[in-house]
Structure 1
């Protein structure tokens, strides 16, 4: 029987930073999605659409880029695959007010407020997004 190595793993020097730049969110209609996300996040809906398929949103911290993803299935009739599990969190300092805001704006709720800490919604492309207490 082999014994597990009890030593700490060696830290390897890597040119890749321990830092996330942006998350890509697959969308089908870049203008409609830009407007929806800007409303959800309280942003002006004048974010530039680049190369006909990319829309970086002006975020604090890690970015979100809406993308029709022409190189990753976006040219297919059903578009690129959507995010079926929340891949990132949108933060809030007022969870209840955020929950009421999405309800009042007819955003599809996937869960109620869970553990007094988070809830999940769907965007127009059925990507799952988590809203979480800061």
Structure 2
């Protein structure tokens, strides 16, 4: 296999949003953080993450399409609590909790209709 100068390391994931103010409040409630002021003329909001690639809300192209499956997922340690949290936030949940052996997951949408997913690793008992 040839060498590549491109590293196999994701630097940042961009989530397209149409209304930065609304999206910042929604993602803040979903993920439990207080949004800072967006940068880049109010079009980019960096979401604080615990580890892994960084995450940014991006309002630069409001004409985006939400077609397709989720492009990434969030982790949880408690799927039942996660589903309850989504329900309390009145989030549109688009799948039941599915267990595929190594993980269980649930899919849902943000206010723009962008498909999102939360996964929980299978317990090793």
Bin for the TM-score computed over the shorter chain: 0.7 to 0.9
Contact 1:91 1:133 in 2 (8 A): yes
Instruction: Provide closer, same or farther for how the CA distance between residues 26 and 125 of structure 1 changes in structure 2, counting only shifts above 3 A.
Output: same
Q: How does 1:56-75 map to 2 (within 5 A)?
A: 56-60=46-50, 61-70=52-61, 74=62
In structure 1, distance between residues paired with 2:57 and 2:97? 26
Using structure 1 for the length normalisation, give the TM-score.
Answer: 0.80
Q: Is the 8 A contact 1:48 1:56 kept in 2?
A: no
The yes-or-no answer on 1:115 pairing with 2:99 is yes
| 1:1-134 equivalence runs, <5 A | 10=1, 12-45=2-35, 47-51=36-40, 52-60=42-50, 61-70=52-61, 74=62, 79-82=63-66, 84-115=68-99, 117-134=104-121
User: Which stretch has the larger CA shift, 112-121 or 94-103?
Assistant: 112-121
* C-alpha deviation, 1:83, in angstroms: 5.2
1:84 and 1:69 map into 2 onto residues whose CA distance is 20
Report the aligned-residue RMSD. 1.4
**Distance of 1:43 and 1:109 partners within structure 2:** 21
Once residues 113 and 8 of structure 2 are traced to their aligned partners in structure 1, the CA distance between those partners, rounded to angstroms, is 30
Q: Would you say the 8 A contact 1:69–1:80 is kept in 2?
A: no
Structure 2: 5+ residue runs without aligned partners?
none
- More strand per residue: 2
Q: Which runs of 4+ in 1 moved over 2 A?
A: none
Superposed CA deviations along residues 14-48 of structure 1, whole A, max 9, x for unmatched, are: 22111001111110001110111111001112x23
Segment drifting more, 58-67 vs 24-33: 58-67
Larger radius of gyration: 1
The total of aligned residue pairs comes to 116
